[in-house]
Structure formats: structure tokens, C-alpha cells
Amino acid sequence: GTVINLPVHAFPTDDGSIAMKCPTEVAIDDRREAELAKLGLMPILHRKNTDLAAFIGAHSLQDDETRAGRLVDPDAQSNERLSANLPYLFPVSRFAHYLKAIARDKIGSFKERTDM
């Protein structure tokens, strides 16, 4: 997800041009971002010479590799890895919430199972 309109500090350089200070506290390169994401953190990457930054991945702090490694079933391992990956978890949770709302509206309607 892109973050726009971050406050940036522009300052003159020795050669007379204008440079922008990174709006995030620390500039993180792609390699470091991948390392932090693998550890379960959500680093923000600054786009050079702009007021834009972006969150590339959204993993959770759940140690999915260790937990999935203890499972024998390959389907269970895949499920464990996906459940630790927030971009997959959020839409599935939203869909489940929507189904629950539909079922809630049907309570007390005296409908048979086949009519639902």
C-alpha cells in the first residue's frame, strides 16, 4: 500500500541543487525490506526524491515456517503458511464476516435448509 503526502524536508546542496530528506526515519533497501518482512515486520520503503512510501508485504509475527515444518500433511503446511500471510487472511476474513451477516439476517425466517 502506498502512503502519499508524507512531510518532506527539501534543502539546498553544496552544488546548488535541491535535495529531499527521506520522510521515513530510515531509508531501507529492498534486501533489508525482504529480511524484515521474513521476520514478520512491515517495513515502509521510501521512494527516492518523492513524498511517497509504500508497504510492500504484510506478514505477521506468527512463526509459520517453524509451525508448518512440524506438520506432516502438505495441505496443513500450506494452510499454516497462508494463515500467517495477512494479505490472504484479510479478504478471507471479510468474506466469512459477510457470510455470517447473511446468515444472521435469515435467523427466525422459518425457512427450510433447502430454501437457504
Instruction: Provide the residue range defining the domain that includes 29.
Output: 1-59
**pTM for this prediction:** 0.51
Same domain, 66 and 113: yes
> pLDDT digits over 22-77, tens only?
888 888 888 998 888 878 788 888 888 788 888 887 777 766 555 556 777 888 87
Same domain, 70 and 106: yes
Contact 1, 54 (CB under 8 A): yes
Same domain, 100 and 49: no
Structural domain ending residue among the three candidates 17, 35, 59: 59
For residue 45, the model assigns a pLDDT of 86
* Helical (H) or strand (E) element with 112: none
Q: How is 1-62 classified by DSSP, letter by letter?
A: -EE-----EEEE-TTS-EEEE-SSSS---HHHHHHHHHTT---EEEPTTSS-EEE---B-SS
> At residue 23, what are phi and psi to the nearest 5 degrees?
-75, -15
Residue 72's SS3 state is coil
